[in-house]
Structure 1
Amino acid sequence: MVLKNLRIGSRLTLAFATILVLSLAGTAFALYTTRSSAEATHQMMQKPLAKERLVSDWYVMTYSAIARTSLIARSTDSTLSTVFAKPIKDSVTDTTAILKKVEVLLDSPEEKQTLQEILGLRKQYQAAKEVVMNARTAGDAAGAEQAYEAVFSPAATAYGARVLSLLHIQRKAIDQIALDIEAANERSTRLVILLTVLATALGSVAAVMITRSITRPLDSALDVARTVAAGNLGNTFATYPKDEVGDLMRALETMNGALARVVAEVQQGTTAISTASGEIAAGNLDLSSRTEQQASS
């Protein structure tokens, strides 16, 4: 196994490095998803929301202009057309400016098609408004009322409704972007949780494997030391890892061999002494026997 060939310090470094890399990967992914969400929110704020606000202002100004014209057409006060002359002029100028800004921002075929329809309806609306205003300026209240009912009201209703439909398109787009951002955030959250679980699992597996690669050889070395301490020098040594525990096992093997040789030498010396003692005893016995024989003769 590769771990057995690594020094203990290298294994511990590998374990800490693995956990650190997994932690950094999780942090980097979390930062990436956060940045993506922020970018999506920024994009929503930059263009779709800008379009929605412009179209919303356009609709409010259109609604106000229709209300003013209705008041002028149906009021008995003939001076209203003069009173509202400047606000009407400013409204037309502001609406035209907004229209130019909106036209640049619209990019989808649906938006462009709706804008073209609005432009056509706006021309009809402005023409109908002009008829009403001319009648009021000429003092023809009945003509203004008739033009309002027959021409202006239908044109204004169609124009306002189409501007409102463009506003609904913008709000629908913003709602969809918000849903997309929410879905992306949910996916990111699930992925971060999954990555955290995987990092924890991989870190745990790495910790267990590295711990076992250290403790098991140490247990083997401890068993050998206990066997030697008990006086059993017949240990068999397997292959050793190339780490500190392997160095310890090789040292124990050397010690075991040295002790075995010492014991063998002691045993040989004891045997030699025993043999010599036996020979001396036999010689003494033989000498004593011959001495007794000589004395009796």
Structure 2
Amino acid sequence: MQTTINWQMVESENVKMDSNKLSELAQTITSEYSNINGIVIVRNGCLAYEKYFHGKGREDTHHVASVTKSVLSALIGIAITKGYIKSVEQKVLDFFPEYILDAKKHDITLRHLLTMAVPYPFEDWHEPLDILCQQQDWVQYTLDTMGEKGNVGTFKYSTAGAHLLSAILTRSTGKSARAFANEHLFSPLGMKEIPDYRMDAYGFDDLFGKKVKGWVHDPNGNSTGGWGLTLTTRDMVRFGYLYLNNGVWGNNEVLPESWICESTELNDNNYGYLWWLRQEDGFFTYAAIGDGGNMICCIPKMNMVVAITSEFMMNPRDRWFLIKEHIIPAVID
């Protein structure tokens, strides 16, 4: 059963979910996850649950923060499929021949960027994004710090590294990540097209806060690779379902199944190609996770995707607990 094109709501029992347990979700969210703005659940290709809070609705877009990274991962996969990029083994510096850099940077590949396996001089989880955002050339700054300290192959989460992938996509295709996504990902999935909004300032609110709209870009027009994308909750679940459905939407292959398998293959770092991986209680999941509690969680064993949009707050309650304790138990085997 697939109604992915129209997203018509169906009775919970028709997709083998307990309507009584699902009906308790809203109260749980209100009392324990107060910054959630929207939640959409798709199971077996059908819309099983949809609820919004704080006056939000299905047409409202939200800044999904680092969920942007997983979207960018898909765009790299599409660019490779279409021949713009050779492979994930291509050297990062192949795309920036004008930059004269330290020889030790030459071993770093796209795969290293996708899997967060590039060393940088900052301490783990203390990346100075404020410094990045003060630069006139974010790409030059990131290339300068790339490969400093540590060893290539060791996991180190870096948002600037994801931004480098966005610049590589643009150098390869001649289009910003936003424009490339509109044409090759968003439009085929029936997602909202992202307009090209002009940015007149690069303060906190412009880049991360209340003024974020469309898809934020750096001073040179590169769409931010690690954050800055705005999506509706429904469009988030569409993107997740594309992965769950092996890259096929309707009758069209939007993304190769092989790319999805590579991107979500479990490893010691529990991190694929800009996707978070989890093996717990007999369940394997992969998720796009953004600051403040934004999430797209794909659960292959249950043929289910959960998309959550949130108002930013510091240290929100982990959405995995909501999924594990209240959504997975609603599935009828």
Shorter-chain TM-score range: under 0.3
Greater strand share, structure number: 2
TM (normalized to structure 1)? 0.19
Q: Which has the higher contact order (CA 8 A, sep 6+)?
A: 1
Greater helix share, structure number: 1
